[in-house]
Amino acid sequence: MKYIETSNRAVWSRLSTPVILVAIVLMIAAITMVREDVVFERVVIVMFINLLLVVGLQTFMGNSGLGSFGQYAFVLIGAYASIWFSLTPQQKNLALPDMPKDWWLYDQQYPFVAAVLAAGLVAMVVGAIIGIAFVRLRGASFTIATFAFLIVVHSVALQWEQVTRGSRTVIGIPRYTSLWIAAAWAIAVILVGYVFKESTIGLKLRASREDEDAAASIGVNVKLMRWLGWTLSVFLSGIGGALWAHFIQQFSPQSFYLKETFLIVAMLVIGGSASVSGAVIGAVAVAMTSEGMRQFENWWNLERQTETDIGAILPFQLIGFTEIVIALAMILILVLRPSGIMGGRELSWPFGSSGGPPATVVEDAQPAALAHQDPVS
Amino acid sequence: MITDAAQYLISALSLGGLYALMALGLVIVYGILKLINFAYGELIMVAGYGMLIIGRSPWPWIFVAILSVICAILAALVMERVAFRPVRNSSPTTMLITSFAVSALLQNLALLIISPRPQVPRLPDYFSRNFSVRGVRIAALDLMGLIVSVLALILLTLFLRRTVIGLSLRAAADDFTMTRLMGVRANMVIAVAFAISGLMAGIVALFWIGNTRSTTPTIGLEPVLIAFIASVVGGMSSMKGAVLGGYVLGFLTIGLQTWLPQDINAYRDAVLFGIVILVLLVRPEGIVRPAYSREAR
Amino acid sequence: MSYLLVDDLHVRYGAIAAVRGVSLRVDAGEVVGLIGVNGAGKSTTMSSIVGVVKPFSGSISFDRRELVGQSPEAILRLGLAPVMEGRRIFPSLTVEENLRLGAATVADKQQVQEDMDRWCAFFPALQERFTKPAGTLSGGQQQMLAVARALMSRPKMLLMDEPSLGLAPKLVAEVFQLIVELRDLGMTILLVEQNVRMTLDIVDRVYLLSSGQVEFDGTANELRARGDIERAYLHGAGSSSIAVG
């Protein structure tokens, strides 16, 4: 790893970031374990998996400056691939009854860790191939292409019954993702994401984020850097899918589509896409807020049904309230503080800002001047 | 044989016209702002719920229809003012993400305020009528859709060619700053573009819901995806391209529905979006080539 | 009486100061030149006047109205019409539509028609290609269109940014001839140019910009008399750089 500043203070500052982030995850996991509240534990496991996905997305989006709406295509692939590798043939009879019994896949069954990694690899291979074509695209075209890819994968998954059971729900998946397993994988992904960001490749990629042509002119192979970041991000997304599959225990292609994409993108945008801390904070903040909202929704809907005065004042059911709050928060951030809560900076100790300028995925570099719009190619 | 062809033609022209309007609504905003408005589908949703609520009144349906379209236009203007104006100078990616958030917000607001269940708005009886002309069975809805979409396209073309505002819109798509330097107010041009977008969405809503006979919070999704495909394939910077893309898609859809076996048709979405990806990779400016060379600055 | 007054203008792009304390004035009926090599800050100054770029500090006033902070639309409506660098006509609109748009701020339809006829007579090439898309015009024709379009709003003053850029020598001569004719018609013009020799031939006064600052301000003859300045800032008198593309 190469660092720009060489002072000791700066080095400690940089190293402190992953430590702090890991500590956050550990703390939350510890609190959860102590509370012994099953519902809360579920919420936290979901949060850890989402956190993993957001960091995975950040690895690409934050460093390259390109938006991607296609992540869940790979989460889907990871989820299905993981059960190909983790279920015994008997379990597969139940979960994927249409899978031909003479396929090689049918017999494969490995310990959970291997299955998760294999799932990540399958996703990564698909992503790597697609990525070769996509990295040629600019800006919004890239984002659109990833979005189109999500739809393609979704549509194919709905049909390909031998490997996905089509539109029907896959069931009977054992619950392998426990609290500490989710926490461990989340921590691993945080570390990978951070190391990537600070590595030479990550640095070059970030250079291309600010100014693609300038980076190219100093010898950065922009396409290659993008491809590397993309492939890594896809790998991490596949892992997230695998963990999710073995937590939720049943799913269909519908579980990996627009609503979920929106949530992860929202988390990243709200937290701040330019830093790993932003991803983590975004995931935690949105998860905690959602949970709070959901409890509020439940309380509201329950109160309505009682005969109390409060019940009379609340004339309507609250549905979708949580999503509204998240969408509003996202819009507010985009309008008022596009660089997100963390503003592109990393959490570090001592509390200086360790990290680049507050540039983000989504900011257009138009400083003092109201420059004219460039034609978008 | 001939009756089949005639039926196909009418259905395809009708659907194509609708798709053309949809694509146009998207492209007209994109041309100026480079914003791909995901929330465009929610304009259709707003019109749909307009039809539902206003339809409960005793007024004649044509009134309900007009008011619903106005609802869509108003929603578009509010959307522009509140959500898109502040991010106007940001990168296209930011604007795209913003439109995504607006779309989610509106869908969930509908979920909350109205209902997650499909609702059936009042529709005129002539929407479900069929009649025969020399053995060719025509659905009144299709015929009306065809006529209205062609009319709308003609009127829009006249507007864009003959009025100063229309000229300003086209010029803004070429060079927004230069248009401002002609003294044309930026906010006005953008507002008009959004208003037209809302108008298109409203008209589409009337016929879309006329067909599906119900409205839900997520009703905007399929149209916006279609508009999307049509515009990318036709060329996002070109209004002509959007219209052409819409008609091509309409003909393709009806054709596939009619002649392709069911199980292959199910892959239709995958194929269509695969085509989108291909177009983006190979010919990002779309199929329609501009008739002149763009001046490089 | 000063029509256009620029006072101590500073413009920055990020950390780079492109314009550092430029002051200039243009009086009614004058043709004033703004010359200097590439990157001297001429276009930035022009963009600031026109409202496309926001200055860091300083003031720009036209007809005693402050321009800084106003939108480009508002500035045009005050009577300042730009002919921007690179022509920037609307390629997908026809010649006629380009002209019509130039008169977007004119309410009187008759006046618009009269002006269109007038400028088409003035520029026969435009009359020929009246209904063709402007993108199909040659560079020189597009320049004529850009000027005619600016004139359609009956401005009080024209701002011309490198009108001879990229044109063949014969066309360059035509463009400068046009500027003289416009001056004779009473138009006030601020002309930004890299073609020093021809600019000096037609302007009343000239400002020489270098690295964002005014290094000389006076008449063409006074500049010609200052061989040292020409050598220092213009890389040799007379052999004016005819800009390439």
pLDDT tens column, A10-24: 777 778 889 999 999
Residues sharing a CB contact under 8 Å with residue A257, sequence separation 6 or more, in sequence order: A72, A150, A154
The position carrying tokens 């059971």 is A165
Provide the 8-state DSSP code for A255: G
In the predicted structure, residue A289 carries a pLDDT above the cut 70: yes
Provide the 8-state DSSP code for B290: P
Query: In which band, very low, low, confident or very high, does the pLDDT at A308 lie, cut at 50, 70 and 90?
Result: low
Structure tokens at C61: 């006033």
End-to-end CA distance of chain A: 35
Rounded Cα–Cα distance for residues A94 and B180 (Å): 65
Query: Treating both helix axes as pointing N-terminal to C-terminal, what angle do A258-271 and A71-86 enclose, rounded to 10 degrees?
Result: 120
Rounded Cα–Cα distance for residues B208 and B224 (Å): 12
Query: In which band, very low, low, confident or very high, does the pLDDT at A312 lie, cut at 50, 70 and 90?
Result: low
Inspect the interface and report whether the beta carbons of C88 and B167 lie closer than 8 Å. Answer: no
Q: Is A272 domain-assigned?
A: no
Strands C188-193 and C31-35, sheet pairing: parallel
Q: Is A354 domain-assigned?
A: no
Q: Is A222 domain-assigned?
A: yes
Cα A87 → chain centroid: 25
Strand order in the sheet with C213-218: C80-83, C157-161, C188-193, C31-35, C205-210, C213-218
The position carrying tokens 């479900």 is B128
Rounded Cα–Cα distance for residues A215 and A218 (Å): 5
Interface check B293 vs C, CB under 8 A: yes
Please give the backbone phi and psi of residue A107, each rounded to the nearest 5 degrees, phi first.
-85, -15
pLDDT tens column, B249-275: 898 888 877 777 776 767 888 888 888
Q: Give the number of domains in chain A.
A: 1
Query: In which band, very low, low, confident or very high, does the pLDDT at B185 lie, cut at 50, 70 and 90?
Result: very high
Q: Is A342 domain-assigned?
A: no
Rounded Cα–Cα distance for residues C41 and C233 (Å): 13
Rounded Cα–Cα distance for residues B245 and B235 (Å): 8
Strands C157-161 and C65-66, sheet pairing: unpaired
The letter for the amino acid at C56 is F
Inspect the interface and report whether the beta carbons of B270 and A363 lie closer than 8 Å. Answer: no
Rounded Cα–Cα distance for residues B101 and B2 (Å): 48
Averaged over A173-178, what is the pLDDT?
Answer: 88
A373 to chain C: nearest residue by CA? C52
Chains touching chain B through at least 3 C-beta pairs below 8 angstroms are: A, C
Rounded Cα–Cα distance for residues C64 and B257 (Å): 69
A146 to chain B: nearest residue by CA? B277
**Is C25 in a helix, a strand, or coil?**
strand
Go through A112-128 and write b for each residue having 16 or more CB atoms within 10 A of its CB, e for each that does not: beebbbbbbbbbbbbbb
For chain A, give the percent of residues with pLDDT over 90: 44
Please check whether residue A362 is in contact with residue A335, taking contact to mean a CB–CB distance below 8 angstroms: no
Chains touching chain A through at least 3 C-beta pairs below 8 angstroms are: B, C
pLDDT higher at A166 or C110: C110
Please check whether residue C214 is in contact with residue C207, taking contact to mean a CB–CB distance below 8 angstroms: yes
| pLDDT given for residue A307 in this prediction | 56
In the predicted structure, residue A1 carries a pLDDT above the cut 70: no
Residues sharing a CB contact under 8 Å with residue B283, sequence separation 6 or more, in sequence order: none
| pLDDT given for residue A26 in this prediction | 93
Rounded Cα–Cα distance for residues C165 and C154 (Å): 24
Rounded Cα–Cα distance for residues A32 and A35 (Å): 5
Provide the 8-state DSSP code for A344: T
CA atoms within 13 A of residue A52's CA, in its CB half-sphere: 28
Which chain A residues are Cβ-neighbours of C53 within 8 angstroms?
A: 369-371
Interface check B182 vs C, CB under 8 A: yes
Q: Which of A242, A237, A235, A233 is nearest to A111 (CA)?
A: A242
- Compute chain A's Rg from CA coordinates: 22
| pLDDT given for residue B96 in this prediction | 87
Which chain B residues are Cβ-neighbours of A370 within 8 angstroms?
A: 89
Closest by Cβ to C87, choosing from B170, B180, B295? B295
Averaged over A28-51, what is the pLDDT?
Answer: 91
Structure tokens at B190: 């953008």
Q: What is the 3-state secondary structure (H, E, C) of B131-165?
A: EEECCEEEEHHHHHHHHHHHHHHHHHHHHHHHCHH
Please check whether residue C46 is in contact with residue C88, taking contact to mean a CB–CB distance below 8 angstroms: no
| pLDDT given for residue B246 in this prediction | 92
Query: In which band, very low, low, confident or very high, does the pLDDT at B158 lie, cut at 50, 70 and 90?
Result: very high
Range of the domain at A214: 8-257
Q: What is the dihedral of CA A283, A285, A290, A293, to 10 degrees?
A: 180
Closest by Cβ to C104, choosing from B164, B186, B291? B164
Query: In which band, very low, low, confident or very high, does the pLDDT at A361 lie, cut at 50, 70 and 90?
Result: very low
Element (H, E) at A235: helix A222-248
Structure tokens at A64: 């390259």
Structural domain boundaries in chain B: 2-218
- Mean pLDDT across chain A: 83
The position carrying tokens 């949060």 is A47
Cα C90 → chain centroid: 18
pLDDT higher at C213 or A294: C213
Q: Is A26 domain-assigned?
A: yes
pLDDT tens column, B273-296: 888 888 888 877 666 555 443 433
Inspect the interface and report whether the beta carbons of A371 and C52 lie closer than 8 Å. Answer: yes
Structure tokens at C222: 């006074």
Interface check B5 vs A, CB under 8 A: no
ipTM given for this complex: 0.86
Strands C16-27 and C31-35, sheet pairing: unpaired
Rounded Cα–Cα distance for residues C11 and C47 (Å): 10
| pLDDT given for residue C24 in this prediction | 92
Which chain A residues are Cβ-neighbours of B83 within 8 angstroms?
A: 331, 335
Please check whether residue B29 is in contact with residue B35, taking contact to mean a CB–CB distance below 8 angstroms: yes
Rounded Cα–Cα distance for residues C25 and B143 (Å): 66
CA atoms within 13 A of residue A224's CA, in its CB half-sphere: 9
Rounded Cα–Cα distance for residues C240 and C200 (Å): 10
Chain C residues with a Cβ under 8 Å from any Cβ in chain B: 50-52, 71-73, 76-77, 82, 84, 86-93, 97, 100-102, 104-105, 133-136, 142, 149, 153
Please give the backbone phi and psi of residue A147, each rounded to the nearest 5 degrees, phi first.
-65, -45
Structure tokens at C95: 């010649």
Averaged over A188-212, what is the pLDDT?
Answer: 91
In the predicted structure, residue B4 carries a pLDDT above the cut 90: no
Q: What is the dihedral of CA A117, A123, A125, A127, to 10 degrees?
A: -140
Provide the 8-state DSSP code for A254: G
| pLDDT given for residue C236 in this prediction | 45
pLDDT higher at B132 or A375: B132
Alpha carbon separation from C231 to B186, C20, C235, C238 (Å, rounded): 45, 22, 5, 10
pLDDT under 50: residue ranges of chain C: 236-245
Cα C227 → chain centroid: 26
> Going from the N-terminus, what domains does chain C have, and what CATH number goes with each?
1-79+157-245 (3.40.50.300), 90-155 (no CATH)
| pLDDT given for residue A309 in this prediction | 57
Inspect the interface and report whether the beta carbons of A152 and B273 lie closer than 8 Å. Answer: yes
Q: Is A296 domain-assigned?
A: no
| pLDDT given for residue A152 in this prediction | 93
pLDDT tens column, B33-91: 888 899 999 999 999 999 998 888 888 888 999 999 999 999 999 999 999 999 888 88
How many residues does the structure list for chain A? 377
Closest by Cβ to A367, choosing from C13, C47, C52? C13
